[in-house]
Structure 1
Amino acid sequence: MKDPVSLCTGVTYDRCSIEKWLDDGNERCPATMERLQNQDLVPNHTLRRLIQEWCVAKGFDRIPTPTSPADPSKIRCIMEDINDDNKALDALRKLKSLAKVSERNRKNMQAVGVLPVLAELCLNQQSIETLRQVAGVLVCFSLDDATKQRLRGPQVMKSMELLLGHGEHMETRLNAAILVESLTRDRASAREIGLRGPIIESLISLVERESDDGVEDYENYASEARIASLNALYNLCAVSRNRVKIAEAADAVPALADLLSSGVDKKVREKCLGILDALSTTAEGRVAIDDHTLALRAIVKSLLVVSNNANEYAVGIIWRICLKSGEGDVLNEALVVGAFKKLLVLVQIDSSSPATKVKANQLLKLFSALRQSQSS
């Protein structure tokens, strides 16, 4: 146990375990099965001290003394200060600190209505500093559908544009990217965000950024911001018109191809391929991929070395580029960079889906015909 607490039945449990039990709707004590008269959790300080002393005696790290969950009345008092311009920033910082401490704090905050208040601030706030703090609190939560609905309007989208373009603070851009990622999981929100060109451009800039340019806290947040931006772009691709917008953005395909060619995490490369796969379903996307010098090479190189999903994406991209371009140069380039050998291996792998094998075999036939014509 790290945080022993007692129920009204007198039985002690670790706080995280009993909270999960109660949150699942159970109304009885797990040990005695008595119906609980209340769900108050009383810290067992004596047992906690014994555990801490035992850890020290046995050479283990001493468990820290846990912080008690924030009282709902305390949260309400902080929320009242949000409406005071002189106290709002300090109140938001306090809410952020509470939200970061524990899941119980976040649940207590949601129970007293913090999320609707924060969403309202996004709708009506003009101060960039206040918006920064609001975003810092919101990213601590898994947003529910009601909150996402409130955050869907054009005024909130404008706020997201401001935060994503706030180049002096990478943490602010990260928080905005996380919020956009969360909102884009909803198709209606993805459509709304797709109408905002600056948001898409800012997400792409977070994917492609390579130097800090003096940005505050760049190293701490750049990697997380890149992942959140990739996820947001991937979600946006669920809407067909968004794919065209992303494909037409000048830096989108170069940024994805460059990231795919780098030594980043396999999950990141898989996400890059997922976006490129979606873009390749549009004529604009195929042109952008074909026009980039290293894109096709990077896609072929990723075959068989990233993941099964990545293989599916890569084959789909190559298949569309080669079959729909109608140009021998594209086929020849794919052949030169090693697509033929990799596809031969791929069609023999059990984990490849039937649809992917069909596409791979069609490509192999095209490559075989091209090789024969070149040798004759």
Structure 2
Amino acid sequence: MAELPEDFKCPISLELMNDPVILATGQTYNRSSIQRWLDAGHRSCPKTKQELKDTKLIPNYALRSLIHQWAQANGVELKKPSDLKTQLHNAANNSEKEALKQLKAIVDSLLRRLSSSGLQMRRDAIKDVRVLAKESKDTRTCIAEQGAIAHILPLLSCRDAQIEENAVVALLNLSVDDENKVGLVAEGAVDAVVHALKTGSADTRASAAVTITSLAMVDVNKATIGSRSDAISALIKLLAEGNPRGKKEATTALYSLCIYVDNRSRAVSQGLVSILLSLLSCEGGDTAERVLALLDLLATSAEGRMAAGAG
């Protein structure tokens, strides 16, 4: 048997994780181990020692998939997770089990169609994923757990405007649930969304900005997205040259990111304040209100006040 990869070990038990979850600090633990830690009254991250303001546990679907692949390839039998979701499934009646089975079959069929060489088949499949992801929390969970994210992300740079737009909105729909937001970022969604933000059609770029706003609702994601070298610059470019919808969504996304202090200096250093000041003279209504709100937020930093004074 191959040596167990370090990333597959729980930092607490040092054993192979069967149900990896992400803590608010961005660290991954096995659910049973970190839950025992929290149940014992601890309110800090075991690895980083950071105080926890939120003890919510978010499934790390990407890592879980990699662990399952490794276990299967090396003949390792994984223990079945004993989280609440599994318990509820075990207690479900036959009709509910059958409904879940059918949903998984639908998602699997869509993933096969997404991998098709036929352009129209891929267009229809990603449109169906977009619709399905809007249905309910259960369908979104199933889509994520079946490994759909890995199939969707490459579509954001496939150079087909119709597929790219539907792929971005599919990610947006999946990001509605908080437990998916960190998982999407962990699977590489930021790079894919930023690429669409820079190269997509007008509609795709605006939808990409909305997706960033949704992902940034989780605090740990604000830092992750902002640290991406061209995420903020791509939003600023959309704000400067986009259509009315693009400008509005770019302003909202930038506001969401700049709630995190470090992102304010990044945005100011890339010329955001001067662009916002220029927009005040030509934009009205909702967009103007968003521009003013963002300027007020940036003015809470010394860099922002200096840039506003210079402008």
Contact 1:308–1:352 (CA<8 Å) still a contact in 2? no
Contact 2:225–2:231 (CA<8 Å) still a contact in 1? yes
TM-score (norm 1): 0.49
Q: Matches of residues 1-376 of structure 1 in structure 2 within 5 Å?
A: 153-166=103-116, 168-188=117-137, 190-196=139-145, 198-209=147-158, 222-250=160-188, 252-262=189-199, 264-324=200-260, 326-327=261-262, 330-348=263-281, 349-352=283-286, 356-366=290-300, 369-370=303-304, 372=306
- The total of aligned residue pairs comes to 211
Q: Deviations over 1:312-363 (max 9, x none)?
A: 3322322232332x32xx3333122220012223445322357624522323
Q: Deviations over 1:2-26 (max 9, x none)?
A: xxxxxxxxxxxxxxxxxxxxxxxxx
**Secondary structure at the counterpart of residue 195 of structure 1:** helix
Contact 2:268–2:303 (CA<8 Å) still a contact in 1? no
Identify if the C-alpha distance between structure 1 residues 366 and 256 changes in structure 2 by more than 3 Å, giving closer, same or farther.
same
- TM-aligned CA deviation for residue 192 of structure 1: 3.5
Structure 2 unmatched ranges of 5 or more? 1-98
**Secondary structure at the counterpart of residue 259 of structure 2:** helix
Provide the rounded CA distance (Å) in 1 between the counterparts of 2:254 and 2:305. Answer: 17
Contact 1:289–1:295 (CA<8 Å) still a contact in 2? yes
Identify if the C-alpha distance between structure 1 residues 304 and 193 changes in structure 2 by more than 3 Å, giving closer, same or farther.
farther
Instruction: Please identify the structure whose Cα radius of gyration is greater.
Output: 1
Identify if the C-alpha distance between structure 1 residues 179 and 282 changes in structure 2 by more than 3 Å, giving closer, same or farther.
same
Q: Which amino acid aligns with 1:203?
A: I
Provide the rounded CA distance (Å) in 2 between the counterparts of 1:164 and 1:188. Answer: 22
Provide the rounded CA distance (Å) in 2 between the counterparts of 1:224 and 1:150. Answer: 30
Contact 1:290–1:296 (CA<8 Å) still a contact in 2? yes
Higher relative contact order (CA closer than 8 Å, sequence separation 6+): 2
Contact 1:184–1:232 (CA<8 Å) still a contact in 2? yes
Provide the rounded CA distance (Å) in 1 between the counterparts of 2:130 and 2:168. Answer: 9
**Secondary structure at the counterpart of residue 153 of structure 1:** helix
Contact 1:164–1:199 (CA<8 Å) still a contact in 2? no
Deviates more, 1:149-158 or 1:336-345: 149-158
Provide the rounded CA distance (Å) in 1 between the counterparts of 2:219 and 2:102. Answer: 30
Provide the rounded CA distance (Å) in 2 between the counterparts of 1:254 and 1:350. Answer: 32
Identify if the C-alpha distance between structure 1 residues 321 and 298 changes in structure 2 by more than 3 Å, giving closer, same or farther.
same
Contact 2:202–2:246 (CA<8 Å) still a contact in 1? no
Identify if the C-alpha distance between structure 1 residues 190 and 277 changes in structure 2 by more than 3 Å, giving closer, same or farther.
farther
Q: Deviations over 1:271-321 (max 9, x none)?
A: 111111111111343233123111110011111432343333322322232
User: What is the alpha-carbon root mean square deviation over aligned residues?
Assistant: 3.2
Q: Deviations over 1:180-227 (max 9, x none)?
A: 1222232345433443352122111111236xxxxxxxxxxx332222
Provide the rounded CA distance (Å) in 1 between the counterparts of 2:284 and 2:157. Answer: 35
Provide the rounded CA distance (Å) in 1 between the counterparts of 2:292 and 2:267. Answer: 18
Identify if the C-alpha distance between structure 1 residues 180 and 266 changes in structure 2 by more than 3 Å, giving closer, same or farther.
same
Identify if the C-alpha distance between structure 1 residues 173 and 334 changes in structure 2 by more than 3 Å, giving closer, same or farther.
same
TM-score (norm 2): 0.58
Contact 1:277–1:317 (CA<8 Å) still a contact in 2? yes
Q: Which amino acid aligns with 1:352?
A: D
**Secondary structure at the counterpart of residue 186 of structure 1:** coil
The sequence identity of aligned pairs, in percent, is 17
Identify if the C-alpha distance between structure 1 residues 316 and 176 changes in structure 2 by more than 3 Å, giving closer, same or farther.
same
Q: Which amino acid aligns with 2:174?
A: L
Contact 1:248–1:288 (CA<8 Å) still a contact in 2? no
